[in-house]
Structure 1
Amino acid sequence: MTRPEAHVVAETDRQVTARRLLDSSAQLSYDPAHEVDWDTPLDSAFHGMSPEWSTLFGTAYWDDMTPEQQRELTRQEAASVACTGIWFEMILQQMMLRDFYAKDPTDPAFQWALTEIADECRHSIMFARGAAKLGAPAYRPRRVAVELGRVFKAVASGEAAYAAILVAEEVLDVMQRDWMRDERVVPFVRTINNIHVVEESRHMKFAREETKARLRGAGLVRRQVNALAVAIAAYVIVTNMVNRQVYANAGLDVSRAVREAGANEHHKAMLRSSCAGLMEFLDSAGLLTRPARLVYQRANLI
């Protein structure tokens, strides 16, 4: 098979995947403005996330907290995760718009990219309203993360962009699959998680296919550089998911909470388990290099 013929096959496969995703989106998508119960007042008897996903679950501090404090902490942490999700979804949208700028609008992949961007816009509004309903402030990533994100969204392309998108979505997906099934979690958050899981499954499929497609023919140096870039992006995302201000807003001693959360082996194990499938994919794609693996280990993702 000649190189031009191989290129045609790859493009056709890509288009087929995009068409399937477009069909799936047309059959099963949600409007959070109508699907989520925004009107019922927040019931403080519920958690904001599965308690096992709290950064303090399994620590001595968690055992010292009252049930009311535990529930308030999980609500604040869920809001922080949502705000981090908004931040990264805005990066994602800009990378995809830049990637498909001035390309063929009749290409199903182009149309899927716009569909995914539309999904992310709805998700960001949904997360914002959800965080507000949880009684949380506008949590933001640390300033250094914001500036790194500004650079990443401007320069990341190809497999680096799509693998980073996949990393962020995979970590959230495993968490939210637990939360949406947990009857201890406040019902409107469960609905938000269900919507996000259903629609993000299509986004992850596209990100995996694009990552593999962009890596075809990539040389060793390019793989090494992009593997490290994706790992650093993952580290920044994960370490900014829970703002330390959540502890103050839950009425806790911030210094003790940060110290015990940082040493919490249970939470580290939860993160590692959530990323098992992701790491397997990155390894198969040649993006789990030795330097990248060290970064993932530092982020407790492997």
Structure 2
Amino acid sequence: MAISSSRPEAESPAPEDGTARRLLDSSARLSYDPLTEVDWQTPLDESFHGTSPEWSTLYGTEYWNELTDAQRKELTRQEAASVACTGIWFEMILQQMVLRDVYAKDPTDDTVQWALTEIADECRHSIMFARGARKLRAPAYRPRRTAVELGRLFKTVAFGEAAYASILVAEEVLDVMQRDWMRDERVVPFVRTINNIHVVEESRHMKFAREETRKHLARAGGVRRRIHSLVIAVASYVIVTSMVNRKVYANAGLDEARALREAKANEHHKSMMRSSCSGLMDFLASAGLLTKPALFFYRRAHLI
């Protein structure tokens, strides 16, 4: 969108500022209030799944074939809640990194105002995910202690392309899953609404993360680029492997040890993850962030 003609020509914004203005305009036109958009009042209908069954960590395994329809639906509801809780954890990290990035910058600048808008979005998303998990009758799933402490370190020290590319990885992986879930009539309606809200609003966040990653990489030397490519890959591995908490199986009434073994060996789920991340990996490759050390962690997370 063109900048107001009252601004002097010499003060025309940089390209990334133009992106920020367009994102602000988009947010003004299309944003949601989850407190009113999501049906929080209707009791949970247990005849629905929580995610598309094909996205379950056990789909395609022998154990899945042995489960009753009710057990499968309960498992996907617990998995949906776990993904939501992991999303809250990472959104808290994201908010702190973005706020730290714009600290002491000009608050009248479009880029800073968009960053604050994104933080406001993430606050609403976190509350929405928390209420959704509670309505799915799930506990507050939390990442393992090692992941929590690594996240604490990462949010404190990560900057530039390391912060924004890691944000992009987390958002892209979740985005692909949720696009399937929001269209799937087998998924409980209020979860479909949550997914739709998140997909629409996160599309703007991903655009900003790509722009910021490119902008910071343009100033990065070879050594910094190699170091940050590894940091991004490790962060991605921790995020992706934390999405489904091991306790979902016991809470769904399954044998946790057996479920874990079959989930870890599930080639169908690995294939789903790889196919969903093809566009993301293309972006990271074009940015020069798929170094050999980084590829090791992406392969371990089954993202490539």
Q: What are the within-5 Å matches in structure 2 for residues 1-302 of structure 1?
A: 12-302=14-304
1:217 CA drift (Å)? 2.9
RMSD: 1.1
Is the partner of 2:57 in helix, strand or coil? coil
1:128 CA drift (Å)? 0.1
Is the partner of 2:14 in helix, strand or coil? helix
Contact 1:179 1:193 (8 Å CA) reproduced: yes
Unaligned runs of 5+ in 2: 1-9
Structure 1 residues 268 and 11, CA gap change in structure 2 (3 angstroms) = farther
CA distance in 1, matches of 2:272, 2:225: 28
Structure 1 residues 203 and 10, CA gap change in structure 2 (3 angstroms) = farther
Unaligned runs of 5+ in 1: 1-7
1:9 CA drift (Å)? 11
> In the alignment, what sits opposite 1:5?
none
TM-score when normalising by structure 1? 0.96
1:220 CA drift (Å)? 1.1
- Deviation digits for residues 71-116 of structure 1 (CA, Å, limit 9, x no counterpart): 0000000000000000000000000010000100111000000000
1:264 CA drift (Å)? 0.1
- Deviation digits for residues 235-263 of structure 1 (CA, Å, limit 9, x no counterpart): 00010100000000000000000000000
CA distance in 2, matches of 1:258, 1:188: 28
CA distance in 2, matches of 1:9, 1:266: 53
Q: Which amino acid in the other structure matches residue 167 of structure 1?
A: V
- Deviation digits for residues 208-234 of structure 1 (CA, Å, limit 9, x no counterpart): 000000001311111100000000000
- Number of corresponding residues: 295
Question: Any runs of at least 4 consecutive aligned residues in structure 1 with deviations exceeding 6 A, and if so which?
Answer: none
Contact 1:275 1:301 (8 Å CA) reproduced: yes
TM-score when normalising by structure 2? 0.96
Contact 1:224 1:287 (8 Å CA) reproduced: yes
CA distance in 2, matches of 1:100, 1:175: 30
Is the partner of 2:190 in helix, strand or coil? helix
- Deviation digits for residues 44-78 of structure 1 (CA, Å, limit 9, x no counterpart): 00000000000000000000000000000000000
1:298 CA drift (Å)? 0.6
CA distance in 2, matches of 1:204, 1:288: 19
> In the alignment, what sits opposite 1:3?
none
Query: Bigger CA drift: 290-299 or 84-93?
Result: 290-299
CA distance in 2, matches of 1:130, 1:172: 16
Contact 1:177 1:194 (8 Å CA) reproduced: yes
> In the alignment, what sits opposite 2:3?
none
